[in-house]
């Protein structure tokens, strides 16, 4: 029952209660968090998970099994494989024998036999069969289109879609997002490099500062966790004065559109009842977009041919002028910024585990808007990510170790 939350948010402005007032006892660190054996703590948000770890041979396979489970809409199996993979990613050593999994939560049963097979034979037959299966290959292809989720892909698969070209049949009614995704498919399959992400940030900052000179923009998502490449770039936008944020995203997007930098955008307004939104989403004003990032000689000939992003110059020679890049832009009120930063830094599994831990261990609801104490019926303020971890009784995990 989150009726109390409804009330505080119904005006559109959250009314946070001072954290010190309602959280005295929440600051006590959990007994487990103090030990040095953080690698085997049950929740991924209690562990430190670096980007590069010691068990990728096993985790790669477990993640294929997890993805196949998600394609079969089996959330339980998806979570089982994902939690096992995440546990192994946080181990500070390479697993040598299956016996070492004895004390590792989530690594029993089916996962244990998979781990054993890989340790002994170097491959997992089940994963090899999955990779070779038509259903898996097709679902992987279709869900890699911007705007296509598992349910749509499954429906298309049942309707006989096997290749992207099959979607040209007018009987398939594509959304504007999916049409843009297909149009720029080849480019969007190329990883976005850190250098491209940084150029993107400069471009967007310039546009935003045209309207609000001291606006803040922060790169989040995988890049903030230290990844050198990603499937998109995620940004958070904020300002100490909420009024300065009103309408600025739309104005900046129009400004960039006028310069020919935008290929697609979908602006979602701020929801005044964010708790009603799908639990995987939030209520911040967001723009899901595809930018045309100007490029020099960044791409190889074959990448260019595949992407179709070549433009004829007067002499008939082709040269690249832009690369399509997926960008998510999120506007957050200053008070909610630490929560939005924590929520948008990821990884997805780290976030899922933070929310699970908050609810199961602390009876609190964590979103990218705030932390809500269900027992004391209050909203808890925080001025930094460190404070949010402290409120939850968790040891602070820096972004570089949230690659769960
Ligand atoms: N997020 C989440 N739950 C979702 C989707 C996103 O908690 N269902 C959060 C976690 C990561 C962040 O938003 C950005 O999402 P992505 O861009 O999808 O993830 P990423 O870690 O940035 O991965 P990539 O590098 O591939 O973009
Ligand atoms: Mg991302």
Q: Which tens digits make up the pLDDT trace of 154-193?
A: 999 999 999 999 999 999 999 999 999 999 999 999 999 9
Is 165 marked as a binding-site residue?
A: no
Is 234 marked as a binding-site residue?
A: yes
Q: Looking at per-residue confidence, does 319 or 389 come out higher? A: 389
Confidence tier at 270 by pLDDT (50, 70, 90): very high
Among protein residues, the one with the nearest Cα to ligand 1's atom 1 is: 348
What's the Cα-to-Cα distance from 245 to each of 149, 208, 215, 270, 273, rounded to whole Å?
A: 31, 10, 8, 11, 19
The predicted model scores a pTM of 0.86
| 351 Cβ below 6 A of ligand 1 | yes
Centre a 10 Å sphere on the Cβ of residue 397 and count the other Cβ atoms it contains: 20
> Which entry of 159, 166, 234, 282 is annotated as an active-site residue?
234
Task: Quote the ligand 1 centre to 31 CA distance (angstroms).
Answer: 30
User: Mind listing the pLDDT tens digit for each residue in 194-230?
Assistant: 999 999 999 999 999 999 999 999 999 999 999 999 9
36 is catalytic: no
Per DSSP, what are the bridge partners of residue 182?
none
- What radius of gyration, in Å, describes the C-alpha atoms of the chain? 23
36 within 8 A of 48, measured Cβ to Cβ: no
Task: Quote the ligand 1 centre to 79 CA distance (angstroms).
Answer: 17
Is 18 marked as a binding-site residue?
A: no
User: Mind listing the pLDDT tens digit for each residue in 306-351?
Assistant: 544 444 445 555 556 999 999 999 999 999 999 999 999 999 999 9
What's the Cα-to-Cα distance from 356 to each of 65, 244, 366, rounded to whole Å?
A: 22, 34, 9
φ/ψ of 89, rounded to 5, equals -65, -25
How high is the pLDDT of residue 273? 66
SS3 of the chain: the string is: CCHHHHHHHHCCCCCCECHHHHCHHHHCCCHHHHCCCHHHCCCHHHCCECCCCCCHHHHHHHHHHHHHHHHCCCHHHHHHHHHHHHHHHCCCCCCCCHHHHCCCCCCCHHHHHHHHHHHHHCCCHHHHHHHHCHHHHHHHHHHCCCCCCHHHHHHHHHCCCCCHHHHHCCCCCCCHHHHHHHHCHHHHHCCEEHHHHHHHHHHHHHHHHHHCCCCEEEECHHHHCCCCEECCEEEEEECCCHHHHCCHHHHHHHHHHHCCCEEEEEEECCCCCHHHCCCCCCCCEEEEEEEEEECCCCCCHHHHHHHCCCEECCCCCEECCEEEEEEEEEECCHHHHHHHHHHHHCCHHHHHHHHHHHHHHHCEEECCCCEEECCCCEEECCCCHHHHHHHCCCCCCCHHHECC
Centre a 10 Å sphere on the Cβ of residue 118 and count the other Cβ atoms it contains: 21
User: The complex's ipTM?
Assistant: 0.97
């Amino acid at each position: 029952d989150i009726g109390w939350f409804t009330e505080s948010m119904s005006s559109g402005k959250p009314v946070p209660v001072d954290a010190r007032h309602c959280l005295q006892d929440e600051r006590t660190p959990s007994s487990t968090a103090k030990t040095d054996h953080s690698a085997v703590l049950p929740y991924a948000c209690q562990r430190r998970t670096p980007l590069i770890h010691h068990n990728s041979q096993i985790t790669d396979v477990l993640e294929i099994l997890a993805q196949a489970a998600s394609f079969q809409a089996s959330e339980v199996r998806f979570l089982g494989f994902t939690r096992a993979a995440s546990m192994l990613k946080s181990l500070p050593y390479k697993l040598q024998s299956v016996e070492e999994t004895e004390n590792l939560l989530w690594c029993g049963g089916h996962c244990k036999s998979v781990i054993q097979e890989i340790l002994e034979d170097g491959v997992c037959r089940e994963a090899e069969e999955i990779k070779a299966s038509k259903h898996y290959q097709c679902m992987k292809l279709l869900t890699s289109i911007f705007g296509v989720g598992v349910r749509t892909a499954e429906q298309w698969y049942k309707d006989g879609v096997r290749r992207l070209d099959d979607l040209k049949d007018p009987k398939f009614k594509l959304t504007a997002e999916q049409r843009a995704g297909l149009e720029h498919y080849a480019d969007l399959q190329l990883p976005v490099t850190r250098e491209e992400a940084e150029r993107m940030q400069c471009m967007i900052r310039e546009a935003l500062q045209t309207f609000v000179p001291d606006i803040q923009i922060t790169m989040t998502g995988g890049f903030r966790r230290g990844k050198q490449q990603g499937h998109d770039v995620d940004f958070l936008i904020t300002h100490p004065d909420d009024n300065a944020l009103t309408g600025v995203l739309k104005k900046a997007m129009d400004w960039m559109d006028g310069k020919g930098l935008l290929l697609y955008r979908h602006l979602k307004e701020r929801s005044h009842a964010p708790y009603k939104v799908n639990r995987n989403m939030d209520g911040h004003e967001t723009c899901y977009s595809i930018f045309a990032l100007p490029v020099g000689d960044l791409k190889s000939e074959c990448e260019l041919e595949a992407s179709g992003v070549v433009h004829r110059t007067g002499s008939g020679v082709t040269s690249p002028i832009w690369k399509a890049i997926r960008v998510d832009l999120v506007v957050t009120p200053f008070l909610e910024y630490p929560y939005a930063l924590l929520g948008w830094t990821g990884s997805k599994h780290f976030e899922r585990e933070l929310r699970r831990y908050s609810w199961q261990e602390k009876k609190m609801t964590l979103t990218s808007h705030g932390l809500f104490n269900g027992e004391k019926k209050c909203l808890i303020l925080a001025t930094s990510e460190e404070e949010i971890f402290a409120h939850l009784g968790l040891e602070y995990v820096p972004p570089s170790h949230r690659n769960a």
